[in-house]
Structure 1
Amino acid sequence: MISIRSLFPILSDENLSSATDSVIFLGVRPSNDIYDQIKTETGAEKIFRLSVFLTHKEKLLFTAPAGPDMNSGLEDLEFCVKAGMPLIQNLGIQPEIGLISGGRSGDLGRNETVDQTILGAEALEKKLNAEGISAKHYTILIEEAVKEANFLILPDSLSGEMILKTVAGVGEGVEIGNILLLKPPAGKTISGDKIYIEQLTKKADLANAEILKEALAASFK
């Protein structure tokens, strides 16, 4: 098994983290009232998860969004991209963004919901690239996306939950942790500078969350 610590370049040199109260581990499967408390303390309007895990081939993968809140449009997905990128970079990793939708371009017209995910991903790809953020729409082909991308943006929060629980909860993948992305209301900012992480699957190893916490703490130095 690969050393999870070695996956984060920020921990592979002398930049070792010390105890910090800026990164908080919420535990495994925290209760829903914790999210309400975080919203109250920070002023967040929505909370999404940036999930960090290893595939069965030991590839480090980041996915978003996942719950507790459901995304309601491209604005939420764009937020996840822009909030997730600096966190991944702080871990010493260059994010390669892959946009996932519910079908291929040839599937347009078969189902309205699927159409929305395809057209939405195409629009987001165009917008991000126009802003200088490299992103590629891989349609529904996650198996092709992971060959090139390490940060997958999924069409909705439910998809993110299902992928995490399938890969790391049922399959042979390993859950490292989930970093909460706190989205403020329009025109406002988040109060405080804390980062919250958690784990969700029964197979979660607390040691992995501690490594993720250590890597995030190191990024504050």
Structure 2
Amino acid sequence: MYAIGLGENKEEVLKAYEKLKEEGIEVELIENPKLLIDKLIDGEIGGAVRGSLPSSKVIPYLRENVGKFYRASILKNPFTKGIFLLSPVGIDDISEDKNERINDKIKIIEFASNFLKNHNLEPRVAVLSGGRLGDLGRNKEVDETIYEAEEIVKHFRGKIDIIHEGILIEEYLKEGYNIIVAIDGVTGNIIFRCLGLVCKIPGYGAVILSDKNINFIDTSRNANWERYYNAVKFLAGGEFE
């Protein structure tokens, strides 16, 4: 049994629910954010999808129960047709403090790499910054993102396949990098909305990256039915289609 949160955008959630029911997958619709998480934590359901419930009600309560975690959106790469992880995508996923933010991104890369390995995919990491490398010196804030990205790459150099070539997300995807590390949660959220909600690139929602095994997928309340459907199918089968 799985559960989907039912808030705003009910019509799209119900479409996913009906499609899953046709395929024999048992799904419960839950309108109370706390009940959704309680049932997940208590083991009453095998996995939960946020559905169209508000993030501000679900995510803080989930953190109260399981501790710190990060979110990584799973999206189809439009160039390679494989999948890639985009993280962070939550506005409160990583710290505003520089040193803590770097540590958060290091943990994201470690957790995301393990996630891909568990699905028989070799992690290839691309770290985003705010401009091309040749833009260094033009803008102080952009410079800081470049220095930060270089520090992260230095931490992993020789251990994993990791690259930083500035803001060029399109080149990273063309080259098949499957972990894209955004500058921060706001930037990641905007990238997801542009790719997933505007350009309609298929996806599975955002998985939880943590040292705990949490069968929860975060989804936008503005998503179409296919994202809710894909999220439950992934929880049920653990495979990408």
TM-score (norm 2): 0.70
Amino acid paired to 1:147:
K
Paired residue type of 2:51: G
Secondary structure of 1:82's match?
helix
Q: Which residue of 94, 115, 127 maps to 1:71?
A: 94
2:157 matched to 1:135? Answer: no
Is there any run of 5+ residues in structure 1 with no aligned partner, and where? Answer: 1-18, 183-189
| Alignment check: 8 A CA contact 1:23 1:213 kept | yes
**Is 1:49 aligned with 2:77?**
no
Write the mapping of 1:198-209 to structure 2, written as runs, cut at 5 A: 198-200=218-220, 201-205=222-226, 206-209=228-231
Find the aligned partners of 1:151 and 1:178 in 2 and give their Cα distance.
13
**Letter of the structure 2 residue corresponding to residue 193 of structure 1:** N
1:211 aligns with 2:238: no
Aligned residues: 189
Q: Decide which structure has greater helix share.
A: 2
State the distance in 2 between where 1:158 and 1:60 align. 21
Distance 1:27 1:117, change over 3 A: same
- Deviation at residue 86 of structure 1 after TM alignment: 1.2
Q: Percent identity?
A: 26
Contact 1:28 1:198 in 2 (8 A): no
Q: Which has the higher contact order (CA 8 A, sep 6+)?
A: 1
Is 1:194 matched with 2:214? Answer: yes
Letter in 1 for 2:168: L
TM-score (norm 1): 0.76
Q: Which amino acid aligns with 2:223?
A: K
Deviation at 1:152, TM superposition (A): 0.7
Aligned 8 A contact 2:208 2:214 in 1: no
Of 138, 144, 147, 2:174 maps to 147
Question: In structure 2, do the counterparts of structure 1 residues 172 and 120 end up closer, same or farther at CA, with 3 Å as the change threshold?
Answer: same
SS of 1:140's equivalent in the other structure is coil
| Greater C-alpha Rg | 2
